[in-house]
Structure 1
Amino acid sequence: MASTLGTLDPAHPRRRQLGSPYAATSVAVVAVVVSLLAALVVLRPAPADAASPITVASAISSNSGTQTVRGYVVGQPTATNTVVTSNYPNDYALAIADSATETSTSRMLYIQIPSAHRSAWGLRSNPDLKGVRIDVTGSLGAYFSHAGMTGTTAFALASGSTPAPTPTATPTSPTPTADPGSYYAPVAGKTGAALHDALHDLIDEQTKISYSTVWDALKVTDADPANSANVLTFYSGVSMPKSANGGNTGNWNREHVWPQSHGDFGTSIGPGTDLHHLRPEVVSVNSTRSNKDFDNGGSAVSGCPDCWTDSDSFEPRDAVKGDVARMVFYMAVRYEGDDGFADLEVNDTVNGTTRYLGRLSVLKAWHQSDPPDARERQRNEVIYTTYQRNRNPFIDHPEWVASIWGS
């Protein structure tokens, strides 16, 4: 019976001849496989293009996830419902919209500009960006308590847009702002009690941070300008490693300029974590200050040059007396008893553990003798732009102290 597997090659007994039925079958199988592979190559879809940018309206509607959004630069947000279109205070944020002429903030997306992108995309350095169509990529969510984008990773000109202007050098730290313009628009023209109340309504709109976050924040707000690895302690003026934070001898810790017991707020999120009155201080000096009111005189404080104390009061060095006063005035206006905490007030006595802090006459004198300097203004700016989104108005407008509490 003839074999269906083909005949042997006489020269190579173990090799089947190519013309055999077995060889023909093998060739046919190979041909089918090749055909199938070719079909797969033809039928395989091309890789999908990267996701197209979405509109500002779509971004506002979803307000979540990581997206690339396309829109026109229309200004810089400075508050939830305020976008300035000139005299930009800094390079930290911009607003985009689907129309280059949009004026309604409800149809704008607020974009956070990380430090690496500020020189090229901030409006203070590049005012000609207004009206330019751009693509931005980042995480959609609340920014300035408004629909926005944070953690922004990429900025680019949209197709067909005018080239971006040549960037200027990136500042190494926020530029101090003497008056952030429209931020104080709601209090314009007010004096006395009306000014006090209007300022309270303005500055109680803030982002609140946890007590543990305060550690890292102070390493930024109070960094030693002469040594970036250190913080500069407040009362004592000592430069200490940022890593030396803690509660032991030789550490620095978190000093509440308005003592926690003067209002019984402890370390609660709110007055207990408000950076406008929290400063780094040597543990031993912080302990000496304790919860005392502020006044002149007493005995010298060890480890704190030009500081003085007695049984119920503390006097800091001259270089920060005005800073102390303005932090106290801020707290007295910011916390009015309408958010679950005590109504903090200043008076002209020493108070123990009540919700009051003094002495007012001394604090006003310190405010006059030590006006805000560049470092204090810069700290106010960092707290506003990076952490809390509110300002200490008595740094920006020292004259308001006399308007509220008298000269």
Structure 2
Amino acid sequence: MNIRSMARSRPGRMITAIALTVAVAVPVVVTSASAAATLTVTQALATQDGRTATVTGYVIGQPTSTTTVLRSGFTADTAIAIADSAAETSTGRMLYVQVTTAYRSTFGLLTNPDLRGRQITATGTLTAYFSHGGLKNPTAMSLGGTTTPSPTSSPTPLPTSTVPGGDYDSTYYAAAIGKTGTALRSSLHSIIRVQTKLSYDQVWEALKDTDQDPANTNNVILLYTGRSQSKSSNGGGVDDWNREHVWAKSHGDFGTSTGPGTDVHHLRPEDVTVNSTRGNKDFDLGGSTVGEAPGNYTDADSFEPRNAVKGDVARMIMYMAIRYEGNDGWPNLEMNNSVNNGTAPYHGKMAVLLQWHQADPPDAFEKRRNQRIYERWQGNRNPFIDHPEWAPSMWG
């Protein structure tokens, strides 16, 4: 489909009626786990000698005794049981992890029951807990796996299923499966709001990983230009690349402080000049060609990216609308069918974004990026990459 061939009501504008309301939210916290070699739960259970180690596993439930683990009806935020498989049933193959005060708001199951089935990484002392193999006094806890596997470990492979959402439907998305409309939106918000928050400086390193050129590991791919450029050429110079906020940070006035301003799901590398040309414009069709970025168009109030990333842009905007719901100190971000949104917490043009989402489905680069953010940086996913059909369910 030629995306630029869509009907327009005036030069550079397409109008399609679609209703909407969206929401999203927030918190979390989390100290990054140690970059030291990672143990599996099996290895940690076999190494209960008081050493400090980093362990990755899936949250099974709340341990209450040597042989009892609650899988629902949680009573406290003080401990979790993890295993190498999210489907583990034997307590003998679970590691009991102490959750100290600093981590309870994010990793306690009474407060965060939807943490069950999620992968986490914890660093602490390997010693008995509840008279059972355990990890106590954690110094770091984070969502997802760590980046450096133990040389002797056999980590659980990444999901290889071709089913939408892969193997995450039975774990990460379990609470959302089968729902539609408002119920689906609410469930997805509760799922993706649990994340590790990055500083704005950490975003540089994250983008060098998430947007790496698959043909040249020393480079990143710039979003609008599509250019492959050295990772080390980031900065503020004319030909450098910088951190593009796809959801313009002035739309809600959230800046670059931790939260929506540093969420890598909508931050991408881009040429400094092209980033400036896009500015805080909404997305729509039409305008004049962007000089340094052929295939991109802009006018006074909107920006149209190249065809290859139109769907990527749409799904990033959708993610932000579901992730940030206004109940955590951040604005309630929503899509609408307007341009010239200015500092209001809205981003358009929804009808066009939905068209782009349909015409440009997720490709291998976008899927890898989503997986990388989940595993190594934030511990949350963009659901519209895993399940493209959820967008029309909520907004169509």
TM-score by length of 1: 0.65
Cross-structure match for 1:234: 223
Partner of 1:359: 349
Cα 1:263/1:54, change in 2 over 3 Å? same
Query: Structure 1: how far apart are the matches of 2:43 and 2:359?
Result: 55
In the alignment, structure 1 residue 263 sits paired with structure 2 residue 252:
yes
Residues 135-159 of structure 1, C-alpha deviations (whole Å, 9 max, x = no match): 999x95444469x999765647xxx
Given candidates 385, 388, 395, the residue that maps to 1:398 is: 388
Amino acid at match of 1:333: I
Contact 2:143 2:195 in 1 (8 A): no
CA contact (8 A) 2:295 2:305 kept: yes
Matches within 5 A, 1:324-343: 324-343=313-332
Question: Cα gap change, 1:79/1:253 in structure 2, threshold over 3 Å: closer, same or farther?
Answer: farther
Residue 80 of structure 1: CA displacement?
A: 8.4
Distance 1:58 1:294, change over 3 A: same
> Equivalent of 2:232, from 219, 243, 249?
243
Inter-partner Cα distance in structure 2 for 1:244 and 1:256 = 18
How far has the Cα of 1:190 moved from its partner?
1.2
Change (3 A) 1:283 1:153: same
Gaps of 5+ in 1: 1-52, 70-74, 82-92, 114-134, 157-166
Choose between structure 1 and 2: higher helix proportion.
Answer: 1
**TM-aligned CA distance change 1:184 to 1:401, over 3 Å:** same
Q: 1:215 aligns with which of 204, 208, 216?
A: 204
Structure 1 counterpart of 2:58, one-letter code: P
1:185 equivalent in structure 2: 174
Query: Conserved in 2, the CA contact under 8 Å of 1:56 and 1:107?
Result: no
Closer/same/farther in 2, CA of residues 67 and 235 from structure 1, 3 Å limit? closer
8 A Cα contact 2:59 2:83, kept in partner:
no
Q: From 311, 324, 327, give the equivalent of 1:322.
A: 311
* 1:385 matched to 2:371: no
Following superposition of structure 1 onto structure 2, how do residues 14-163 of structure 1 map, counting pairs within 5 Å? 56=45, 66-67=52-53, 77=58, 95=84, 101-102=90-91, 107=96, 140-144=138-142, 153=150, 155=152
Among residues 287, 290, 295, which one is paired with 2:279 in the alignment? 290
Shift of 1:355: 0.5
> In 1, distance between residues paired with 2:376 and 2:147?
12
Please report the TM-score for the alignment, with normalisation by the length of structure 2. 0.66
Q: Which residue of 1 aligns with 2:20?
A: none
- Residues 151 and 237 of structure 1, relative CA distance in 2, 3 Å threshold: closer
Instruction: Pick one of 161, 181, 186 that aligns with 1:197.
Output: 186
Alpha-carbon offset, residue 197 of structure 1? 1.0
| Cα distance in structure 2, aligned partners of 1:79 and 1:268 | 33
Q: 2:83–2:93: 8 Å Cα contact kept in structure 1?
A: no
- Alignment root-mean-square deviation, CA: 4.0
Counterpart of 1:274 in structure 2: which amino acid? D
Label 1:314 to 1:371 Cα distance change in 2 as closer, same or farther (>3 A).
same
Q: Tell me if structure 2 keeps the 8 A contact 1:299–1:309.
A: yes
Q: Distance in 2 between matches of 1:209 and 1:176?
A: 30
Note if 1:252 corresponds to 2:241.
yes
* Paired letter, 2:237: N
Distance 1:150 1:296, change over 3 A: closer
Structure 1 match to 2:78: none
- Partner residue, 1:35: none
Q: Judging changes above 3 Å, is the alpha-carbon distance between structure 1 residues 80 and 335 closer, same or farther for their aligned structure 2 residues?
A: farther
Deviation string 1:313-339 (CA, Å, 9 cap, x unpaired) is: 000000000000000000000000011
SS of the residue corresponding to residue 201 of structure 1 reads helix
Q: What's the CA shift for 1:277?
A: 0.2
Instruction: Kindly report which structure 2 residues correspond to 1:339-350, keeping only aligned pairs within 5 A, or say none.
Output: 339-350=328-339
Which SS does the other structure have where 2:294 is aligned? coil
Distance in 2 between residues matched to 1:343 and 1:374, nearest whole Å: 31
CA 231–141 in structure 1, closer or farther in 2 if over 3 Å, else same? same
Secondary structure of the equivalent of 1:281?
strand
1:35-92 alpha-carbon deviations (Å, 9 max, x no partner): xxxxxxxxxxxxxxxxxx9975997xx9xx71499xxxxx9527988xxxxxxxxxxx
In the comparison of the two structures, how many residue pairs are matched? Answer: 300
What is the rounded CA distance, in whole Å, between the counterparts of 1:238 and 1:315 in structure 2?
A: 17
Q: Post-superposition shift, 1:375?
A: 1.1
Say which structure, 1 or 2, has more relative contact order (CA 8 Å, 6+ apart). 2
CA distance in 1, matches of 2:331, 2:321: 10
The aligned counterpart of 1:373 is 363
Shift, 1:376, TM fit? 0.7
Helix, strand or coil for the counterpart of 2:277?
helix
Contact 1:112/1:152 (8 A) holds in 2: no
Contact 2:286 2:299 in 1 (8 A): yes
Matched, 1:275 2:264: yes
Residues 266 and 105 (structure 1), Cα distance of their counterparts in 2 relative to 1, 3 Å cut: farther
Distance (whole Å) between structure 1 residues aligned to residue 203 and residue 220 of structure 2:
13
The answer (yes or no) to whether the contact 1:380–1:395 under 8 Å persists in 2 is yes
Q: What secondary structure, in the 3-state scheme, does the structure 2 residue paired with 1:306 have? A: strand
Distance 1:58 1:223, change over 3 A: closer
- Per-residue deviation at 1:367? 0.4
Q: CA deviation at 1:353?
A: 2.1
In our comparison, the structure showing a higher alpha carbon Rg is 1
